[in-house]
Chain A
Amino acid sequence: MELDPQVQSFVELRDRYAFWENLSQWGYTAWFAAFALGALLLILYAFVPRVQTAVVLPGRGLQRLLYRLIPQRYILLHLGIVLLLVLCAASHQTELDHLRGFAADRDKQHEALIRKIAQSKDPEAVFRAQYLYMPKGNSLVYMTAGNPQLAADYIWLTSQQYVVNSFRRGQKFDMLLRFYQTMLELDPHWIDAAVNGGKVLSALEQNRYAVEKFYIDAIVKNPGKLTLLNEAGRLFVVPPLNPELRKDYAHRAIGWFQAVVNKLKQRKASERRDKMIAEFEDLIARLSVESTAYELADSLLLKNVKDPANSKEFREISARDWLNARSLVQQTRMQAIINAYKSRKAKFPEDLTEITDELRKDPVFRDFDEAGKPLDAFGFHFEYDPARGEVRSYGVVLRQAIQAASIVRAIIDTYRANHNGQPPADLNELQRWVRKWYADPRNPPSASMTNAIGMELNVIQSPFGKPWTYEADKGWIPLPPESVPAILFKNAERVMEEHAPDLKAH
């Protein structure tokens, strides 16, 4: 279970661009040095006497030097003028680049253009403009004189700018997906790039299904490649925030891994093959049971945190995700204990303190408050309904709520944009409008929307199990104060410290 040190690479890439920026600062120094040299040559030219003589005239000091330069007088003139002309041309080139945009600056200019469009026109025009800007497969084939593999390389290099740049975060996924699809179209058998692209996409987007689609494209083009099947399966190993989707995730992961096993079984028998089959079958077995699936994700993410090859940023992301996975493991184990309690005593525990002793036996539960109530990995109390015997990790709920809230807020913004800036009077009105607006085939709901608030686009019910509070005057749905990352992920740092990579062992 190894992921590429993706984030590490991004950081390295950023540093490389920084190197070029430093170089351009040296450029100014070089410019002035060249200017000074050119000017010096011309001044010398003016001072060297204009005589034609074969013998070196006698002289002292500076005069002697000037006399020596007599034969080179015209070289001085020409070199000086050439230098100054080159500088003149270079300055104008810089000016032109500034006006028309350097190839690397095109993104910035494009962004400015998009902003301008966004001010005057509807969001659809913005999207259209962004798509137009992207290179199309066919035109690139023509441009590279029938060498699509070069075009694919170009797309790959261009896409990296989008990965590294911080702007346009919202549509980054859509843009990059388009890039990678074009790349796949141009060089369908470039597996490494497809896998890398898929990983970048999955890092950007919670919705696994959209990324899966990209992998399916690649798999159709390369039916024999185990790597792609494996990667597609790995998308679904970490359980989603939305509990509705958890079953389906496991189902899909199992499907892909089963495909890997089938392919492997067609291969010639070997020790290596059998070992691989055993590994994948173990994966499938663990994914089949919800509780073990969470544990799988738990161990995968913890491994990412520990791996010294990963950058600090990537380890931090993994640590935050691990808090979630660990909380889910705690939740499932606690539910099992509660269920056992019920069958033993024919009733649910009144309070979680009743099972504290039992919980303490399991090392998964580490933190308890003074009263002996268990805390989830995020450090929150579990939500417990003694009537139905259901337990939920508040941290998990909160993360899901944050995601859902950001989507609902974005929907409110879209509503305002279509109603002269007026927010909806209440969430029921918003719900009616949402159903109408997104039923239009021209505005399909995005994958991240359905992922966060379900296929019914429910903007009323929050993951907390009650309707959102809605501030109609501001058009805003507030989240509880503990939803800020500093509080929500306060335990992540501890996890990183505890599981600091063992550099020596590596």
Chain B
Amino acid sequence: MVNGSDLAIKTSNLHMTYNPGLFARKKHALKGLNMEVPPKTIFGFLGHNGAGKTSTIKILVGLQFCTEGQAWIMGGDVRDSKTRRHVGFMPENPYFYEYLTARETLDFYGRLSHLDRETRRRRTSELLAQFSLEHAADVPMREFSKGMRQRLGLAQAIMHQPPVVILDEPMSGLDPLGRRDVRNIILSLRDAGQTVFFSSHILSDVEEICDRVCVLNQGSKVAEGPISSLLTGKVLEVKLAASGIPAAGIEEVRKLAVRCWHDGALYHVIVDTEEKAQAAKSRIEAAGGILRVIQPHRESLEEYFVRVTDGGAGDGSVIVKDKPAEVHA
């Protein structure tokens, strides 16, 4: 369907142009973004600073208006305020009213989300428990730590139990413990059947929890698809370490290697394919050396990200063909 009512989020030819003023040049933040987020997935939204991630998110939650194109959430146009009943949003480094307590804050957002008094009370205590903020329920927000703010930000986003949750950099600025908390929350949201759309810099987290990702570069999409199809598991290089190789054997091995060196105890060899690794292994063993380590190195999301965005203009980059979304149970 055109409006993507079967999708959690759909954007069609989304353009965003900022017109800063009389003499400054126009800035094209988004250049025709098409993106589809299937429901009940965790969707990672990647890109450098200024790639257009935040602009996209702001358009999706109604903070900004795209100059061209359209976007839908749960089949509803994002310009319609009713659509936002289906969205929970946490901005990057969320700020709250300093003078309100956590409980008052959640109650306030509940009212904005058209929740009745009873529901608000129930959800507030549920969420405070879920995000372990009960001890700080009646403390003004100005005394909150960054991690606590982040947790409250998540809590207000899912206060009204929306089917789609959009998070802008939910992990930025958190310590490892805080990141683990957020990660667990995101996973539990998906388990509860909600769609989580989030942008992040921390690719290891994304790789760990996302079902699908979309990579933006300079306002254009450079890659989109399930993580499993993007990271094909291709071996980039294989590292071998051996000892007791005679000089003649070393010469043989060196011919196969990209790089090799001796650290005093072990002889290290790096080759670029698995076939070469097997050949190197047999040569080492043939020369009478003892193979200590053989370690293939596969492409990580980070390396993939660097590969598709590095120096690349938005157009002419790799677009991985979609496989049908793998839906977690």
Q: Do chains A and B touch in the complex (CB under 8 A)?
A: no
Residues on B facing A (Cβ under 8 Å): none
Residues on A facing B (Cβ under 8 Å): none
